[in-house]
């Protein structure tokens, strides 16, 4: 089954006072572009998350947002810079004396000064923190894939319906093609007869055969119809046999381009208003399929 490029998934994992939450969403894109947003001191996990997402997604612009909270004391390594605090205290006292002003120099004020209290990352905890974030990412990816498969199923049904409509038009065109040749033969025969005051049946037949041969060579759409039908079969087989893990969007896009190429050739060769009208509908249907294919991974 095919997968849609658009999807959303959320996952959460917790343990040892830590909670990791991951949200994944994607929109259409020609290539696979993964953006990971993780703020604070846990950005060391970004590459692992990006690698995991790329293993599961082939195309699309994918945004991954990660939030991480911890009440684990091991993750809160705080260092006190006493020298900096003394300098701040001394500087504030000097300001009081210089401007002859009063005010309390409190512990709260000193601790809020830059670099007095610093939270440092413990290298020991990186492996366990990354493991938790990866676990949440995998849960989010499962939900993400589930949504993409559900949308892919709907896309597949819609494409099948559109393809059925195209095949009906092609079937009608195949039935009209011989009539075009017969009508042209009748017109040429009538014209040749009117040009000869004393008709020579043999001459007329020879001229008629030549004219028909030239017309048939220039206007025959049999080969194009065969190839177009073959493209329909390839397209249908691709969307039915896709397993969701292999990218098929680019292949389908190529098949649609070939459909459009054959349709243009048929339209340029068609010498019949009925076929021309059907070709307009056919090309419009192919364009609708092309637009839908842009949603497939």
In a shared domain, residues 143 and 157: no
In a shared domain, residues 143 and 222: no
Higher pLDDT, residue 194 or 87: 87
Of the candidates 259, 260, 278, 263, the one whose C-alpha atom is nearest the C-alpha of residue 176 is 278
Distance from C-alpha of 101 to C-alpha of 241, rounded to nearest angstrom: 81
Higher pLDDT, residue 30 or 262: 262
In a shared domain, residues 12 and 140: yes
Residue 116, pLDDT score: 87
Q: Return the half-sphere exposure (C-beta side, CA atoms, 13 A cut-off) of residue 23.
A: 5
In a shared domain, residues 27 and 142: yes
β-pair type (117-120, 7-15) = unpaired
Average per-residue pLDDT for the chain: 85
- Quick: pLDDT tens for 144-172: 999 999 999 999 999 999 999 999 999 99
- 171-180, 263-272, 277-286: which is most confident: 277-286
Higher pLDDT, residue 261 or 209: 261
Q: Is residue 1 part of a domain?
A: no
In a shared domain, residues 181 and 237: yes
Residue 194, pLDDT score: 64
DSSP code at position 42: T
Residue 280, pLDDT score: 92
In a shared domain, residues 211 and 226: yes
| Residue 183 vs residues 177, 196, 212, 272: alpha-carbon distances, Å | 10, 21, 11, 10
β-pair type (60-70, 18-27) = antiparallel
In a shared domain, residues 284 and 155: yes
In a shared domain, residues 220 and 207: yes
Residue 212, pLDDT score: 62
pLDDT at 195 over 60: no
In a shared domain, residues 128 and 249: no
- Can you give the residue range of the structural domain that contains 24? 7-74+123-148
Higher pLDDT, residue 180 or 163: 163
Q: Is residue 2 part of a domain?
A: no
| Residue 168 vs residues 171, 181, 219, 282, 285: alpha-carbon distances, Å | 5, 21, 21, 10, 11
In a shared domain, residues 138 and 48: yes
Residue 10: pLDDT band (50, 70, 90) is: very high
| Residue 190 vs residues 185, 214, 220: alpha-carbon distances, Å | 9, 17, 22
Residue 189: pLDDT band (50, 70, 90) is: low
In a shared domain, residues 143 and 154: no
Residue 130, pLDDT score: 92
């Amino acid at each position: 089954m095919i997968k849609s490029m658009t999807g959303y998934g959320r996952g959460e994992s917790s343990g040892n006072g830590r909670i990791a939450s991951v949200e994944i969403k994607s929109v259409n894109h020609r290539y696979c572009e993964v953006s990971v947003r993780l703020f604070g001191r846990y950005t060391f996990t970004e590459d692992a998350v990006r690698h995991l997402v790329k293993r599961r997604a082939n195309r699309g612009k994918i945004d991954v947002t990660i939030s991480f909270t911890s009440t684990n004391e091991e993750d809160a390594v705080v260092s006190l810079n006493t020298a900096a605090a003394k300098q701040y205290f001394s500087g504030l006292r000097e300001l009081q004396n210089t401007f002859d002003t009063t005010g309390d120099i409190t512990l709260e004020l000193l601790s809020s000064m830059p670099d007095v209290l610093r939270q440092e990352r413990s290298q020991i905890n990186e492996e366990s923190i990354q493991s938790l974030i990866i676990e949440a990412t995998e849960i989010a990816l499962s939900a993400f894939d589930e949504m993409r498969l559900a949308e892919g199923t709907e896309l597949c049904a819609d494409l099948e319906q559109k393809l059925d409509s195209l095949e009906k038009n092609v079937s009608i065109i195949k039935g009209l093609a011989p009539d075009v040749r017969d009508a042209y033969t009748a017109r040429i025969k009538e014209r040749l007869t009117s040009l000869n005051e004393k008709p020579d049946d043999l001459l007329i037949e020879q001229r008629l055969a030549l004219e028909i041969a030239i017309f048939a060579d220039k206007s025959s759409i049999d080969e194009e119809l065969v190839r177009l039908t073959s493209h329909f079969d390839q397209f249908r087989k691709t969307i039915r046999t896709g397993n969701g893990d292999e990218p098929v969007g680019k292949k389908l896009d190529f098949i649609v381009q070939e459909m459009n190429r054959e349709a243009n050739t048929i339209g340029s060769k068609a010498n019949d208003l009925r076929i021309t009208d059907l070709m307009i509908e056919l090309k419009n249907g192919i364009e609708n399929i092309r637009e839908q294919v842009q949603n497939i991974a």
